[in-house]
Amino acid sequence: MRAWIAWASLALGLAAAFGAQAAVVDPRVLVVTVTVAGRLQDGPEAGNYYVAFNTTPHLLSGPEPDGRNWSHYLLLQRRRFFFAAVRVPDPPPLLFRFTLPPEPYTRASLAADGRTFQAEIPLTLLGALHSALKVNVVTTDRGYRVLDALGAGSGDALGFVRFDPSRELYRQFQDPEGDAPADYDVVTLTLRVQVP
């Protein structure tokens, strides 16, 4: 009987300890800053600016410019920000038309220089508490034709950046300038982990 009580006490203690750990919310925020060579467009003919994420552990490939392998994305479209988790992407050539529409996102802003935008994304929102993120920045025209992405341009499937928030606090990536129209030419991506 005493052995049974000891085992029950141990089990309850472990359950309480693990339950307390699971209840702790991770306060870390990923601050994403993107700069283009020209000016961010916001008129009726303006295209789209995406920050694409892949949080799938052990997947070697990352978010590709055409919309494949995206698990989440931030969208800047005509001075408004949206965020979504990708449930099921449409097959080519209808990529960028994901099953669930993105929700308006308020933790993002445009810089006064007209070339830069920044967003604060809680790591819990990405579901990436203990694994590396793969990040890409993709620009498209109004018809969703890819104009630029990190790396060698719109066709570079390996141009994404790998960032591990459990081991890194800051990373800046300089993208080659001149491989897209200036207003859609991504030149800098900065990733920074912040604890509010």
Q: What pLDDT was estimated at residue 41? A: 95
Which CATH architecture group holds 26-194?
Sandwich (2.60)
Q: Tell me, what's the pLDDT at 54?
A: 92
State the pLDDT at residue 14: 54
Which pLDDT score is estimated for 24?
A: 66
What is residue 20's predicted lDDT score, i.e. its pLDDT? Answer: 47
Q: What is the pLDDT along the chain (196 residues), one digit of tens a residue?
A: 555 555 555 555 555 555 545 556 889 999 999 999 999 999 999 999 999 999 988 778 889 998 888 889 999 999 999 999 887 666 655 556 665 668 999 999 999 999 999 999 999 999 866 778 999 999 999 988 999 999 987 888 888 999 999 899 999 999 999 999 999 999 999 999 998 7
Domain locations along the chain = 26-194
Contacts of 132 (CB under 8 A, 6+ apart): 57, 162, 163, 164, 165
